Structure 1
């Protein structure tokens, strides 16, 4: 006899805690969401109440885990009636505390981890429709099964969920060619703060019927509603990849290099990742020695071209591009991946940098966006600031600089408390660093969002008109402030 859902959920630790003091308040949610739909035991809710970087310990009476759009609508109505706030949460992989319930606010976490249905893949329309709780890697696999390609790619793609990706307007590794998360969205489904459903799950690429309302919810970090479904653009499967590790000459002009790569490859470059020598050193320390790749005096670049047709001589295109870069004196040496295993080894180095920072004691992360043409200017000015203020601090600079996104991270000095060092940096150095970025037309949040950790920066650096519009939208859609209060707004 097959095991019942009720018994299986109870065995997996999903049964409601009958001794919970909040049980009377939570009973209506249990009635709607069923077995495993409400987690209130602290042992079960702990992983939902701590932010990904361990900078904030949150608090929640319970975690709600709906299985359908109708259940999401119902729980929103119950929360309003019971005086609860709601914090939508994807995979809890964010860096700015946007999905962490705040102590004292009586906020319920809404996790869509049980809403993972792939609704439709259309290989002729090149679209994928799915629940917002779908893990990004699973959405990628669903596209691959039909010979298609979903270009949204993040280091956390094995655990992050599409609702969170859209709520933060995630960037990732291939923005250079395909754009941010919002650029990939054709349709959206959202449960609004009053419990009604906004459904615009069309698969159209041309659709001029007034305001593009779905864009209001992308990047809104769950403050205007709970995203429950999405239609994403797809591309033909990438059947060819040509990948190279470039060692940069001293003073190599990154903006000129990035522009040259785009021109010389006819925009076939999907990634152009800068890796500083200091970041590479952190990976070497993590691995205990030699990693088989080097940075030049100007650092290194991981460059990858992709194509969906085997008729394109991609290796020749890459070689021609590299010859141009070397002739101009910008690249001193290059290693071309000769196999898929070698390509993956290149990428493993790039993706190990955050772990290398953590191994070294942690880091204070600055997610900078800049016009690509001003990257070199910013790095020069930031180097002066660092030398004046924190000359002994180890720096880790890397990022998706092909699209202007630079991760400018300070490694916690040995023996110092990570949280205390973070508070010290954010109270002083970080503000001056962001001021430099703004001076060059940049931003203090490229792909992480605002959340709870950068809300003061939004208030400090935004013009009054922007703040008024944000406030007006929030009040119009969520006048009672039940949606993710404390994040962004």
Structure 2
């Protein structure tokens, strides 16, 4: 769908505020902001607004209300559920914070980092590293995703097992509200009981309650030691019991425990046109990494002792320990290339499942039975952060099948049976991707009425005119 040509008169106040370079209205320039990352939705916007300061964000919000525009906050546009894509017909302006990228402060003694919400995640990681500190939020898209988007979706990523989700890393937040006023709670305190923790309202809200402009994040000491292993799993290896043993026997030094199925590994090999040099056992593979800040901890010995116990119990058939940083990076490159491998194979229908870790095996068994019954012959790509219960359960588009048609067919049928199985085991249909525009029907379908009532009450209270990211989540 082609963007509606904007009325120059309507955009003039925004140009006066932001300058010519701060307002992109040419469809050739706005195209990358109006297409979702998975190429499932073509959006539409009169213009993309690019403020440079918090004050400009406040004023553009006031202008939007005055002139009848909706607003769609956008970070790096790397989300999977269309939460940052402006909908056709809604007259929504995209607000990109790509010019608000400043590092405001790093406090090495308080272990905190304050920065603009438009800061790219990898740049925030480097700012922490320069002070001998560590920001544990880590995603495949960290070179292009921005902190505002990470917080708006409550991003998870590779190290949730040890450090938690994005919301667990936030000490302070700054948000421009739908009336243009500023909620500023950029304190760096770890203990601060002064009533409702209001900043948590905006984390995971996907820009529907305001525009996040600044954040204070917790940091940790730089993790100078790493011990990494690729484990080939035996058939029917009990993932929950393995994950629990690893946590106990490493004193919770495990930062990642990633499951990789043989099928997912095969997709990476097919994309590369060569074997990866790594193998999956009958039960798949696990990428396990321990980290520590102190050189006094014998991390390699801790890992070896843990692996010996896993092998003695018959859960692991073989293991490869990274002998260098280059080999460690090669292990991770395989894990992080799986989504690209799916895309190379024709695309996939993604299911972002969350489960109690104790029920992972139950779900895998139920999912396999459902797939064999409902969609026999369809290739499965299963991988994910199983140490924290997050499973990416993706169906690869069959050769010769239209990707969008296949996606619609799966989402209309099989997906609901899969989600019902997960929810029946105490799980969820959205672990770390959020709701966006693609899962809003699922929120209605699988949420209890009281949850929905409370969500709608909060939305009406903070955004009575409905200008903030209308169509996302609700």
> Shorter-chain-normalised TM-score: which range?
over 0.9
Corresponding position of 2:464: 479
Q: Which residue of the other structure, out of 329, 342, 347, is the alignment partner of 1:357? A: 342
Corresponding position of 1:466: 451
* Alignment partners' CA distance in 1, 2:69 and 2:8: 14
Task: Please give the per-residue CA displacement for 1:419-455, whole angstroms capped at 9, x wherever unaligned.
Answer: 0100000000001100000000000000000000000
* Alignment partners' CA distance in 2, 1:418 and 1:123: 48
**Kept in 1: contact 2:150–2:166 (CA 8 A):** yes
**Kept in 1: contact 2:6–2:25 (CA 8 A):** no
Q: Which residue of the other structure, out of 243, 249, 256, is the alignment partner of 2:228? A: 243
Corresponding position of 1:122: 107
TM-score of the superposed pair, with normalisation by structure 2? 0.99
* Alignment partners' CA distance in 1, 2:269 and 2:17: 52
When the two structures are aligned, how many residues end up with a matched partner?
A: 470
Corresponding position of 1:315: 300
3-state DSSP of counterpart to 2:232: strand
Ranges of 4+ aligned residues in structure 1 off by more than 2 Å? none
1:380 aligns to 2:368 (yes or no): no
Corresponding position of 1:138: 123
Q: Which residue of the other structure, out of 49, 67, 83, is the alignment partner of 1:82? A: 67
Corresponding position of 2:98: 113
Give runs of aligned pairs for residues 207-226 of structure 1, distance below 5 A.
207-226=192-211
* CA drift at 1:35: 3.1
Task: Please give the per-residue CA displacement for 1:99-147, whole angstroms capped at 9, x wherever unaligned.
Answer: 0000000000000000000000000000000000000000000000000
Corresponding position of 1:427: 412
Q: Which runs of 5+ in 2 are unaligned?
A: none
Task: Please give the per-residue CA displacement for 1:203-257, whole angstroms capped at 9, x wherever unaligned.
Answer: 0000000000000000000000000000000000000000000000000000000
* Alignment partners' CA distance in 2, 1:358 and 1:451: 21
Q: Which residue of the other structure, out of 394, 418, 423, is the alignment partner of 2:403? A: 418
**Kept in 1: contact 2:6–2:47 (CA 8 A):** no
* Alignment partners' CA distance in 2, 1:347 and 1:22: 49
Give runs of aligned pairs for residues 72-471 of structure 1, distance below 5 A.
72-471=57-456
3-state DSSP of counterpart to 1:373: helix
Q: Which runs of 5+ in 1 are unaligned?
A: 1-19
**Kept in 1: contact 2:159–2:256 (CA 8 A):** yes
Task: Please give the per-residue CA displacement for 1:255-296, whole angstroms capped at 9, x wherever unaligned.
Answer: 000000000000000000000000001011011121100000
* CA drift at 1:21: 4.5
TM-score of the superposed pair, with normalisation by structure 1? 0.96
The CA RMSD measured in Å over matched residues stands at 0.5
* Alignment partners' CA distance in 2, 1:267 and 1:463: 35
